[in-house]
Amino acid sequence: LNFKHSFVKNSKFVYTDLPILVKKCLVEICLMHPLDVVKTRFQIQRGKADPNNYKGLGDCFRTIFRTEGVYGFYKGILPPILAETPKRAVKFFTFEQYKKLLSFTLLSPGMALSVAGLGSGLTEALVVNPFEVVKVSLQANRDSFKVQPSTFAQARTIINTDGFGLRGLNKGLTSTLGRHGVFNMIYFGFYFNVKDAIPASQDPRLEFMRKFAIGLVSGTVSSCVNIPFDVAKSRIQGPQPVPGEIKYRSCFQTMALVYREEGYLALYKGLIPKIMRLGPGGAVMLLVYEYVSDWLQKNW
């Protein structure tokens, strides 16, 4: 899409179909949020010495259900609900604009797609990070859902205690920038480069499966590569091991500390629930983006 298509001419589509897009986001969040809670719990636990250590994925699900109830899987769900629609709008809109700007450079088309993805991810991270801080702090809370603070109460507590800066509502920003930047760089770059390299099928069903398979691999590979940033983000934004003492301060300092204390594999905690969520979810997002883009080009 050029600028005219992506901004001016699709304004009618945005307004008429926004309720549908919002509903899709809500359904996906409600279905996938338990995996996000489980992922965060794995990422903030500090090895076998942690008294709250989960033995595995099944043990984590059973423990949360037994001690916190079914609502425990939906802790911190309001921030994603509030952020998801603008986050995706920023992701895909800025990707198109960065791609347009990079067309004037000497970068190859394949490299330009990856760099445009990197730019869109960094922009997206600036929007979503405050929501992530509140979400992670709620997901880390192991109290009953009924007694834990509300989303807005938790946000007020963070602001009143540490403000809006890098120790408060925007802590972990560098890790979030790394997480989203690396993810989108691979996500968009891999998908569009591989899709162009594999011949399209004339059968609509086979073509759909071709695109879905490439999107699935794209989301999975992106999740595997960026998860050390995700672990660092969760450690920084989650509760510190000793109250009142800041152990996890910055992105790469946290990665180095986790590696030194818990080993290399600790940087990949929560990978399975992350892939279960973002593998198929990433494929669906790209398919919706492509088919909507094609529709706009043909009809506007």
Residue bearing the bigger pLDDT, 230 or 146: 230
Output the pLDDT for position 22.
56
What is the Cα–Cα distance from 165 to 159, expressed in whole angstroms? 9
Q: What is the pLDDT of residues 177-206, one digit of tens each?
A: 999 999 999 999 999 999 989 999 899 899
Domains in the chain, number: 1
- Indicate the pTM of the whole model: 0.86
238 confidence band (pLDDT: 50, 70, 90): very high
Q: What is the pLDDT of residues 249-266, one digit of tens each?
A: 999 999 999 999 999 999
CATH number for the domain spanning 129: value is 1.50.40.10
Output the pLDDT for position 12.
41
Lowest pLDDT segment from 38-52, 164-178, 215-229, 262-276: 38-52
Output the pLDDT for position 21.
53
- The overall average pLDDT reported for the chain is 87
What is the Cα–Cα distance from 183 to 181, expressed in whole angstroms? 6
Residue bearing the bigger pLDDT, 64 or 12: 64
Question: In terms of residue numbers, what domain contains 52?
Answer: 1-299
Residue type, 285: M
Question: What is the 3-class SS of the chain, one letter each residue?
Answer: CCHHHHHHHCHHHHHHHHHHHHHHHHHHHHHHHHHHHHHHHHHHCCCCCCCCCCCCHHHHHHHHHHHHCHHHHHCCCHHHHHHHHHHHHHHHHHHHHHHHHHCCCCCCHHHHHHHHHHHHHHHHHHHHHHHHHHHHHHHCCCCCCCCCCCHHHHHHHHHHHHCCCCCCCCCCHHHHHHHHHHHHHHHHHHHHHHHHHCCCCCCHHHHHHHHHHHHHHHHHHHHHHHHHHHHHHHHHHCCCCCCCCCCCCCHHHHHHHHHHHHCHHHHHCCHHHHHHHHHHHHHHHHHHHHHHHHHHHHHC
98 confidence band (pLDDT: 50, 70, 90): very high
